[in-house]
Chain A
Amino acid sequence: MKTNVRKLTILGISTAAAMVLSYVETFIPVSVAVPGVKLGLANLVTLFLLIKLDWKSAAAVSAVRVALTALLFGSAASFAYSAAGAALSILVMGLLKITGVFSPVGASVAGAVSHNAGQILMAIVLMGTREIAYWLPALVLSGVVTGLAVGAVGALLVSKIDLKA
């Protein structure tokens, strides 16, 4: 019972941190030319939970974060894109964690690129046009850069923060 309270507290703080990151990235004009695309800074929290706890915790925090962020500072469209991006990136990072082929930085790069690919796939579904794939190179590029940065910070957090303390 006590561990459940501990875990709930950790998940609550994680959700708050993820929402702050989602909010902060709305001020970063890196993606003006690429419609609806976000940096995916909240992947930092997902990555951390995936490594320190389990994929269920990471998925739960992501789901709550996406829903609350859309309610507070998003639209129906941005919700669909965020949800698709978050789902695909968790799936990929979770699978990579199981295989253990990459370090947290590599998993983060794969997660960030999947996050962007998920947003594009959702755009193709919603808008009924393939031309959005035109932005894929820019999205892969920004995914690699964001993934490296998020992965580096994430690896640092994973080594510095001990949840069992």
Chain B
Amino acid sequence: MKNKRLRNDIILSVALLVLAIAAWGVIRFTHKTGEFAVVEIDGKETARYPLGDDMSVEIVTGDGHVNTLVIAGGRASVVSADCPDKLCVKQPAISRTGETIICLPHRLVIRIEGESGVDTAS
């Protein structure tokens, strides 16, 4: 009985790991270099910026809070924010479709959209 449960534990853990790696592979394979950084506040799109143009913009969310979005070298990142957890600042720069930077306290999502002509899938 004990061995059977131990075997089930191992099957469960391995199955979950395989699932995670497979899902990660599918995401890597299907997500290409994007064209736009789309800004969504409260689930509604408020702006989109081409990844080709280097720039910096202060995004003002609901209650006058600010996240500073920077696009440089085709990658978007949040360099500063006045949210309490600063998780959005710590998240890595994004450049591929479907990648997101999320600021939960400000209900802000920055999302990469649109396939660019050049396929740089790795």
Contact = CB atoms under 8 A, between A and B. Distances in A.
Bound together: yes
A148 interface: yes
19 contacts: A35-B103, A36-B87, A36-B104, A109-B12, A109-B13, A123-B104, A126-B107, A127-B104, A127-B109, A128-B42, A131-B111, A132-B102, A134-B27, A134-B100, A136-B20, A137-B27, A140-B16, A140-B20, A143-B16
Interface residues of B, number: 35
A64 interface: no
A127 B91 contact: no
Interface in B63-108: 84-85, 87-88, 90-92, 98-100, 102-105, 107
Interface of B: 2, 5-6, 8-9, 12-13, 16-17, 19-21, 23-24, 27, 40, 42-43, 84-85, 87-88, 90-92, 98-100, 102-105, 107, 109, 111
Contacts of B27: 134, 137
Contacts of A143: 16
Given A32-B90, A113-B16, A127 B9 contact: no
B88 A35 contact: yes
A118 to B, nearest CB: 15
A69 B91 CA distance: 24
Contacts, number: 97
A78 B103 CA distance: 12
A148 B13 contact: yes
Q: Give the 9 A-B residue pairs with the shortest CB-CB distance, closest first.
A: A128-B43, A106-B9, A137-B24, A140-B20, A32-B90, A35-B102, A103-B5, A137-B20, A137-B23
A28 to B, nearest CB: 14
Contacts of A109: 9, 12-13, 16
A134 B90 contact: no
**A-side interface size class:** 20 to 34
Interface of A: 32-33, 35-36, 75, 77-78, 81, 100-103, 105-106, 109-110, 113, 123, 126-129, 131-132, 134, 136-138, 140-141, 143-144, 147-148
Nearest to B92: A33
Given A113-B16, A129-B40, A136 B23 contact: yes
